[in-house]
Chain A
Amino acid sequence: MMKNLLKTVAVFVAVSLSVGARAQLVVDITSGIDDPTPIAVSPFNWSGSGVLSEDVSGIISADLRRSGLFAPVPQADMLSFPKNPEEVVFRDWRILGTEYVVTGRIEPQAAGYLLTFDLVNIFGQQKMFTKQVSGGSRQLRDIAHRAADEIFEAITGIRGAFSTEMIYVLEEQRGGRPSYALMRADIDGARAREIRRFSAPVMSPMWSPNGQEVAYVSFETGRPAIFRENLSTGSRQQLTNFKGINSSPTWSPDGTKLAMVLSKDGNPEIYVLDLNTGKFTRMTRHFSIDTEPNWMPDGKSLVFTSDRGGKPQIYQLTLATGQVDRLTFDGDYNARPRVSPDGKTLVVVHRSRGVFTIATMDINTGRMRVLTETTLDESPSIAPNGAMLMYATKRGDKGILAAVSLDAGVKYNLPSQRGDVREPAWSPYFD
């Protein structure tokens, strides 16, 4: 019983190489579902001394609001601030139309904090759960996101992804020259920090399935080369240095292989690198452009972009047989496919009427649906729960990140306070 109630935040080492070089992203919600669930996160009780560095209940409210499925009640509208389920006056919350109330208590621990929080169903007049999350002295935000994950899952049945992170590319001017950085941030844009800075372009960051490493393409050697980097230690390895293009690294679901694009044979072809043996296997043989591979969740096939039909379209390659099947037929430009975690939906960059948007395609029916309304949308990356995706777009001439739910109901922007940001890669779950 206690085991079910007690959830402990995994302590992961956050490598912060340059605290001064922050490029904070600020959430700007543009649309949610028509009828979001009203929920109140009552300010938590703090039994330690001094003031906490983070507003934990506020972070939980912001997480739930950003999901688009919830309408958190502003503190100013609350008639009382209950600290535990016994203090919840059901009648008061019913008057406000609040469906759920979250109460919580934060206690100091030897090396950090313990949050005990409760979810109360107002109309059912019952407590749904009491859970605990603990973390180190600098993990108040992690504690909040973990609690939000639990609340979200208890109400929606969908696993929360508020405690995931993202990696993205930042470009800015430094001393009159473009400077590039691989950045890492919480999925709400907070705690943005540099993984590594580059004086030449860097592109295509991709998380390893265990969330411990990132693969990317850097031009620092004078030509595009693929690197893998350990996110905890900062150690890295250059994986390729072939003539021509070395691009689009993407980890197999089991993390043992890396699919990529090499043009050493004269034009871009899909290769698979076995990370244990170092052996490269060529997977495509076609004079056209074959690029942007992504694995199906079962690891048995790859989807990729090819212009073998004259225009960029998505194809599926079965690894065992080498058979290639075309998947997209709607529109004259479909590229950079990403597959949803359940393997049922393809997310692509889709051009219709000259405008580049993010679209989903049901792999079984082939039905395509455009999710976004802006004009230069690219680089979609799907959350590990399959509910939302992050992508890059432009506002004015500035590169910003944005998110949309896979059903198109929820949208928000994550503009950067500094520089142009692009190529978001949504992390896997860290446990």
Chain B
Amino acid sequence: MLKSVKTGLGLACAMVVLAGCSSTDTDDSAQQQMTQVQEPVVETPAQETAVPLDNVVYFDFDQSLLKPTTRELLIQHADRMRGNSATVRLEGHADELGTREYNLALGERRANAVRDFLVLQGVDAANLEVISYGEERPAQAGSSESARKMNRRVVIN
């Protein structure tokens, strides 16, 4: 039940933001609308913070593009980060395919993509710290495609 509420919220936010992004001067109003949408769905702020958000987002091979589902999730993260001065670490990772140093760069590119998106949502860039581990810290060992999928990720900590 909670899960479906979360997804619904994410979709609503994504639609509002996408609409906001299509014109140049509506960022602020988009954010305000998001807040408005948010309040009726989630009953109290106390409950909102009690629901943990997924803190891992995934990528395609050699890609740093944010998938639509990732954007939805990041919008929810941004809602919680705005006005909060805690530092958040964005840890970029890559799968085992390709070379280690290149993957270090790829992990950073992914974490930067998440950072840039969060900043667009109004999160203070000074509170976001990017670090890449490349392929050095896999979430899942092994060479299966399912393991690789889990390893091409950014962890929001």
Residue ranges of A at the interface with B (Cβ–Cβ < 8 Å): 178, 201, 203-204, 219, 222-224, 244-245, 247-248, 261, 263, 267-268, 289, 291-292, 305, 311-312, 333, 335-336, 349, 351, 356, 376, 378-379, 394, 397, 423
Q: Are B109 and A376 closer than 8 Å at their CB atoms?
A: no
Q: CB within 8 A of A201: which of B98, B109, B136, B142? A: B136
**Are A219 and B133 CB-contacts (below 8 A) given A268-B108, A376-B97, A397-B141?**
yes
Given contacts A312-B98, A349-B99, A379-B99, 11 further A-B contacts (CB under 8 A): A201-B133, A219-B136, A222-B131, A245-B104, A267-B105, A289-B105, A291-B104, A335-B102, A336-B100, A379-B100, A423-B100
The residues of B that contact A292 with a CB separation of less than 8 Å are 99, 101-102
The residues of B that contact A263 with a CB separation of less than 8 Å are 105, 108
Total number of residue pairs linking A and B with CB closer than 8 Å? 82
Q: Interface on chain B toward A: helix, strand, loop, or mixed SS?
A: mixed
The residues of A that contact B137 with a CB separation of less than 8 Å are 178, 201
Q: Are B136 and A335 closer than 8 Å at their CB atoms?
A: no
Q: Are A291 and B105 closer than 8 Å at their CB atoms?
A: yes
The residues of B that contact A351 with a CB separation of less than 8 Å are 98
Q: Are B142 and A247 closer than 8 Å at their CB atoms?
A: no
Per-residue A-contact encoding for B92-114, CB less than 8 Å = 1, 0 else: 00001111111011101100100
What's the minimum C-beta distance from A252 to chain B, rounded to whole angstroms? 18
**Are A245 and B132 CB-contacts (below 8 A) given A261-B105, A268-B108, A394-B143?**
yes
Per-residue A-contact encoding for B131-157, CB less than 8 Å = 1, 0 else: 111101100011100000000000000
The residues of B that contact A349 with a CB separation of less than 8 Å are 98-99
What's the minimum C-beta distance from A310 to chain B, rounded to whole angstroms? 10
Q: Are A305 and B99 closer than 8 Å at their CB atoms?
A: yes
The residues of A that contact B62 with a CB separation of less than 8 Å are 311
Near A by CB (< 8 A), chain B positions 35-85 give: 62
